Structure 1
């Protein structure tokens, strides 16, 4: 069943504003104007319209939480174009920010609306080579957009249907720009399905890896031809060409690893490391490992503590050009750290809506 976000109410206020100004004769003249203030609880914003406005009109102004972040379950960094892409599961949007954005800043552009087909999006991958973005949604759906898409636009292509093998789950995506393949991790069926990058419609996958149960996140290493899957308690690694019920190359698991609900995973082939966002309440951390780690191996370093601002992390992306990592959190914020940060280290910048408007 297709899930929808239901808003309990919008708060609407009709306000009469008195504006005083001086006329040519030096006397003050008072103008009376009526405006409609709409409080949007889902986005923590207030938009202002003329009292007589109707139809699909642009607001006069807006204030409050401007980021548009709403359960940011997927984040990707485009180092070629210096942009951050975020999928928001609660308000069914894709928001795009400048790489160096911080504070209560509005996105550069937003993909949203019925035409987009977005349905509780949970993951995103950027393909700077072909100027496209891939979004994994709830209900066995992958949607593809132009990198610069904005507004209520239909996808360039979409993958869904019985033949795809994606039905019934949340889809986490990764893109292999070298071999022109799309990887789709289905948490419902415990599979990774591979499609041609340009696949569209109800198409059969090229191949499928089965038995990948508990998959929460996926990353692809183009340099070493490996697939990394974060699960509830492990990181499982497969060869790029694996198929069927093929055994993983290695598994990182055990009490010493510090893993707990690996909601986000990123691979850094340049520095031979992997980064994991641990969403379990008693973990609430970012753990970093050597790329080839396996067994019950402890992390090289751990980022956690009150100063870090890490609050039930949902997603993570690595910027290997600018040596930074970015994390999306359940409290609707994005935090950025130096790649080598560890311990109770504060972020170097944060994108977050105005604190007093947040439901934390």
Structure 2
């Protein structure tokens, strides 16, 4: 078998984000990057300020590896790649609406950014919509951005990093450009969802791999510890993503993919196996399993290894990679961005068991493609959808159902612009037999 040549993609991705500008046609890039030399100088200064550079040792000679590398006449230095695969436009992850101020905020993991738009913004034809603001750059500290939520009373934007970063950042509404956050909170690795309960002045964070919901004081920062954590085999949590902290009904509602990674022993797990041979005592590794996707509900003040008070799960639900969720507490309904089949599924808030949705938005006329975000605008009787599968956000009437066209489309790239679909790739492999590049996400 021919070998797969493994290369690190991190340097490539850095090159993509720091070099890509407008396209050859002269169209202005929605995310223009500054010229290389000044940008690199500012980046170096920021890294030094944040303690990211090693201090030089007084009197020490520079390291030489491999020997003589600094004097050898070899190709190298600041050279461009031969070719690259990149998406120059934002990819929309999560969406949230401030109906009182007519603003919509969206997170963008591709460009490590947060964008705001006018609530009534809409593409006229095939062109992109210009955002009101864009928070982006090394000073922001944002990395692989996941969920976004807001505190309208204090006019603050909250975002959390997922597979890298492990931080929650808070920005003021009027933040724009390469700005530092107001506050930063260290959160567990693989944090994904965010939801504030104003009634309790608390914020809930969903965490994928450890299968937990972590609750903090809303104003927590730095190394502040959580108030409580929901975690354990009895919780039914399985790769949790979307979360909604319902302070009115004192509940925490969670969307689960169903993946059980085996870090917590449970009935039905694969047989345990020995971890290596150089340990003093047995350290069994428990295999994981795939449960059905679900929506689970917990008491708002719940903690520890507690069972859900309700669970929506089964074939009738149609749940398939449920991502973000939002709750209409007037109509008592839960909207789910169902990424696996490109649909928005609406359930009754009090549903339990294997139940069908009360409404589904799905079909070619809807334009729903790989949705990640969903948000209610109850004041204006609308529901927003952030598509990860293409460069659009969609707006539907609150009670839309079936294969219906959206009221408005917000494009962040010209219509038809391809979406590469990268989701924080860490390495690539070359299959020489098939002449293909494999990209794990």
- TM tier relative to shorter chain: 0.7 to 0.9
Helix, strand or coil: the match of 1:159? strand
CA distance in 1, matches of 2:168, 2:298: 22
Corresponding residue of 1:253: 313
CA contact (8 A) 1:11 1:40 kept: no
Return closer, same or farther for 1:69/1:349 CA change in 2, 3 Å cut-off.
farther
Residue 170 of structure 1: how far off its partner (Å): 3.1
1:296 aligns with 2:317: no
Residue 284 of structure 1: how far off its partner (Å): 1.6
Aligned with 2:29 (options 31, 45, 63): 45
Corresponding residue of 1:15: none
Return closer, same or farther for 1:131/1:310 CA change in 2, 3 Å cut-off.
same
Corresponding residue of 1:202: 223
Corresponding residue of 1:32: none
Corresponding residue of 2:395: 336
Return closer, same or farther for 1:216/1:40 CA change in 2, 3 Å cut-off.
farther
> What are the residue-to-residue correspondences of 1:68-217 with 2, within 5 Å?
70-103=90-123, 104-138=128-162, 139=164, 140-160=166-186, 166-211=187-232, 212-217=237-242
CA distance in 2, matches of 1:47, 1:250: 43
Helix, strand or coil: the match of 2:372? strand
| TM-score, normalising length: structure 1 | 0.81
Helix, strand or coil: the match of 1:355? coil
Structure with more of its chain in strand, by fraction: 1
Alpha-carbon RMSD: 2.7
Where relative contact order (Cα < 8 A, 6+ residues apart) is larger, the structure is 2
User: For residues 183-207 of structure 1, what are the alpha-carbon distances to aligned partners after superposition, in whole Å with 9 as ceiling and x for unaligned?
Assistant: 1111121111111111110111111
Helix, strand or coil: the match of 1:256? helix
CA contact (8 A) 1:312 1:329 kept: yes
In structure 1, stretches of 5+ residues that fail to align are 13-36, 57-67, 161-165
1:326 aligns with 2:310: no
User: For residues 39-62 of structure 1, what are the alpha-carbon distances to aligned partners after superposition, in whole Å with 9 as ceiling and x for unaligned?
Assistant: 399x9828999xx99846xxxxxx
User: For residues 196-220 of structure 1, what are the alpha-carbon distances to aligned partners after superposition, in whole Å with 9 as ceiling and x for unaligned?
Assistant: 1111101111111113321011112
Aligned with 1:239 (options 255, 274, 299): 299
Residue 149 of structure 1: how far off its partner (Å): 1.2
Corresponding residue of 1:63: none
In structure 2, stretches of 5+ residues that fail to align are 1-8, 40-87, 258-292, 421-441
Helix, strand or coil: the match of 2:356? coil
